[in-house]
Structure 1
C-alpha cells in the first residue's frame, strides 16, 4: 500500500475503500462548492460597480458556466454512481477546468479595471481550481496527477506564448503556479495515504470485533449479548423447558487408567459428540460440569420444538458413545436424566459470563440421571407423556434425593435412531 501510487492489494478491499472515502469526502467537497458559488455570486453582484457593461456580461456568463459545472458536481456526489465509479473525477474536473479557464480569460481581459496583469489573474484562477481539485479527486491520486500535469502543461504553453510580458514574468508566473501544483499534489497524496491507513486500521479493528463477537456468541445467545450491552439485567422465565443431564458413567475408574493428557482428550471427544448431537436436534448446550453435560430445549437459544428432540438427542449420543467406545476400547457409557417443567434463565455476575438455568426442573433432571440405566435415560412423568409415542419406557418407582418416592420412566437405547422418527 506504500509508494507514490497507493492501493490495496485486494481489488475488493480497494473498491470498499474508494466507496467509503468518496462517501466521506463528499461532505467536504459539497462545502467547498457552496463556498465557491457564494463567492462567485458576490462578485456578480459587485461587478456592476466596477466593470463596464460588456465586462459584467462576460464575467456573469463565465461565472454562470462555472456555477452550473459545480452544481452538477454537487449533485453527482450524492449519487451511487459517484461512489461506484471513481474515474468520473477526471471528466468532471476537465469540465470544471474548462469553465475556470473561461473565467480566467475574462478576468485577464479586465486587467485595465482590476489592475492585475492578465497572466497573474489567470495564474490565481488556475491555482484555485488546482487546490479545489486536490480535495475533489477523492481516492484517485493517479487521475489527479494526470489531470494536473496536463493542466500545468497547457498553462505553461499559454504563458510562454502570451505576448507583452517579460521573460522573467513568464518564469516567475510559471514557478509560482508550479508551487501551487506541487503543494496540491502532496496534499491529495497525503490525504489519500492517511485515509488508507485509517481504513486499514478500522478494517482490522472490525475483524477483531467480529472475532470477539463470535467468541461471545459461543458463550451467550446473540439476543442476550445485545441486552447485556444495553445494560439490561438478563432474567427470563420459561414455562415448558426440558432439561437434559448427561453423566459419563464410571468416569473415576476411567480416569485412573489414563494419563492426564489422554483423559482430557477423551473428555473432549465425549463433549464434542454431545455438541454435534445437540446441534443436530436444536438442543441448547448450557455447560459442562466435570464429566457431566447439561443441555436444555425450550430455552433462550434452543431450536428444537419440544421434549421429543431431547429423546432423539439422547439416542444419538448413546449411539455415538458406543461407536467411540468400540474405536478406543474405553467403556464409554452415559446415564441421562430428562425432565420437563418451568425454569428461570439468566446471566449473573460480572466476569466469565454465561447464560444459565435454575429451578426444580434442573435439579430433577440431575436426580433422574442418577437412577438412569447405562446407555439409557430416566425421564419424569411430564417428559414421558410428551415422548411416549416415539420411545418405549418401563415405569419404576424411585426415591430421588430432595424429592422423595416418585414414578420414573426408564429406557435403554439400542441400535441407531430411526430417520423416520426424527423427521
Structure 2
C-alpha cells in the first residue's frame, strides 16, 4: 500500500495526547486507516469465524434441552447472525472494507438488532437456562460490546458513538424492566464494566497502532532522506548496486576526461580572506556545475582548486569529445564574466584527453564514484600546459571533435610521466 510521505509536524491531533487521536494530515489519516484495516483482516475474519462456530454449536446443542418452539425462535435469530458474520468475512475481501471505515457502524448496528432477537429467544427459555432476560441481556450485549471493540478497526470514534448508543438503549431497557432499583443499578453497573473494558481495548489497540504507523512513517522519511543524500553523492544506479551489496567496478572506453584548474590559486589565496576565498572558489565550481548540466557532463569531484569531470562515463549524457570542449568553452566564458563583474582576477586552465578509464566505488566512508587510469593522468598533464582561460586537448580528443571547434596546429610536447604527445589548443571564439 502506498503511504503519503510524512511531513515534519505530521502527528496526532493535540500532540498525540487527545483521547481519540487522529493524524493532522487527512491523507495520512486515510492511509493509516486503510493500512490498519488491511493488516487486521486475518484477525477480523478469525473473530467472525469464532462467532459462526459458537452460534452453530448452540444450534446443535439447543434441541437437546429447548422445546421445539424455543429452538425455532433461537434459530430464527441465530441464522441472520451467522449470515451477517459470513458477510463480514466476505466484505474483508473487497476494497469497500478498506476505503469505507464507516461501514463498521452499519455492521454492528445490524448485529446489535439481531443480538436483541437472540436475547429475546434465550430469555423466553429462562425456566430452562435459569438465566433471566435481564441477565441474558447483560451477558450477550456485553459479549457483543467486547466483540465490537475488536471489530471496529481503526475507527475508535465510530466505536465510541456506537457503544454510547448501545449503553443508552440498555439503560432505557432497564428503566422499563420490572425489577427493583437495586437490581437495575447492579445490572447497569455490570454492563458499564463491559462498556468501559471494551472502550479501553478499542482505544488502546488504536493508540498503539497509530504509534507504530507514525514510527514507520518516520522511518520511511529518514530512509528517503538517506537515499536522496546517497543519490546526490552517487549516481542512482550505482547507489542501488551498493545497497544490494555489489562491488562497483566498471570499464569504459572513449571517455573524455576534463581537468579544470584555477590559475595562480596560491597567489589568489594570499590576496583574499579565507571566507572570500572559499566564496570565490564556490562560485567558480558552481559555474562549472551549471555548465556540466547544460552539456551532459558528469562532475566527478573537486580536489583543492581543481575540478574533474568526464563525458562518456557512468551518468554523463554528453555525446563525447565535442560536448567536453563545448563545456570548457562555456565555463571559460562564465568565469571571465564573473572575473569582470567581481573585480577578482580569476582565470582557469582546462585540459582534455579521451581514452579508456575504469570507474567504481572504493572504501566504506565518504563514498564517491571515481575514475582511474592513464587517461586521467594524461588529461591532468595536458591541463598543466594550457594557457590561462585556454583549452588544451590531446590528439584523441582533437580527432573526436575536429569538426566542432577550431584548433591550432599540433605542438609536440613532453609531458611529465607521459612522454612526447601532440597537443592541440582550442582557438578562442572571441
Per the normalisation by structure 1, the TM-score is 0.92
SS at match of 1:301: coil
Check the 8 A contact 1:333/1:374 in 2, yes or no: yes
1:23-422 mapped onto 2 (5 Å cutoff): 23-163=38-178, 165-394=179-408, 395-414=410-429
Matched residue pairs, number? 414
Which ranges in structure 2 are unaligned for 5 or more consecutive residues?
1-12
Q: CA deviation at 1:369?
A: 1.0
- Cα distance, 1:311–1:72 mapped onto 2, change above 3 Å: farther
Q: CA deviation at 1:9?
A: 2.2
Q: CA deviation at 1:225?
A: 1.9
- Cα distance, 1:389–1:64 mapped onto 2, change above 3 Å: farther
- Cα distance, 1:72–1:280 mapped onto 2, change above 3 Å: farther
- Cα distance, 1:386–1:204 mapped onto 2, change above 3 Å: same
SS at match of 2:40: helix
Aligned-partner Cα distance in 1 for 2:335–2:226 = 33
Q: CA deviation at 1:358?
A: 0.7
Aligned-partner Cα distance in 2 for 1:129–1:328 = 80
Q: CA deviation at 1:138?
A: 2.2
* Pairwise CA RMSD: 1.9
Aligned-partner Cα distance in 1 for 2:62–2:320 = 83
What do residues 44-92 of structure 1 show as CA deviations (whole Å, max 9, x unaligned)? 2333333233333332332221122222222323333332222222122
Aligned-partner Cα distance in 2 for 1:16–1:280 = 40
Aligned-partner Cα distance in 2 for 1:283–1:211 = 26
What do residues 247-278 of structure 1 show as CA deviations (whole Å, max 9, x unaligned)? 11111111110111111111111111111221
Runs of 4+ in 1 over 6 A off after TM superposition: none
Which ranges in structure 1 are unaligned for 5 or more consecutive residues?
416-423
- Cα distance, 1:123–1:275 mapped onto 2, change above 3 Å: same
Aligned-partner Cα distance in 1 for 2:146–2:163 = 10
Per the normalisation by structure 2, the TM-score is 0.91
1:3 counterpart = 2:22: no
Aligned-partner Cα distance in 2 for 1:98–1:340 = 83
State the partner residue of 2:8.
none
- Cα distance, 1:146–1:289 mapped onto 2, change above 3 Å: same
Check the 8 A contact 1:318/1:413 in 2, yes or no: no
Q: CA deviation at 1:245?
A: 1.2
- Cα distance, 1:388–1:50 mapped onto 2, change above 3 Å: farther
What do residues 360-402 of structure 1 show as CA deviations (whole Å, max 9, x unaligned)? 1211211121122222322222222222222111222222222
SS at match of 1:86: coil
- Cα distance, 1:52–1:385 mapped onto 2, change above 3 Å: farther
- Cα distance, 1:309–1:61 mapped onto 2, change above 3 Å: farther
Aligned-partner Cα distance in 2 for 1:272–1:154 = 73
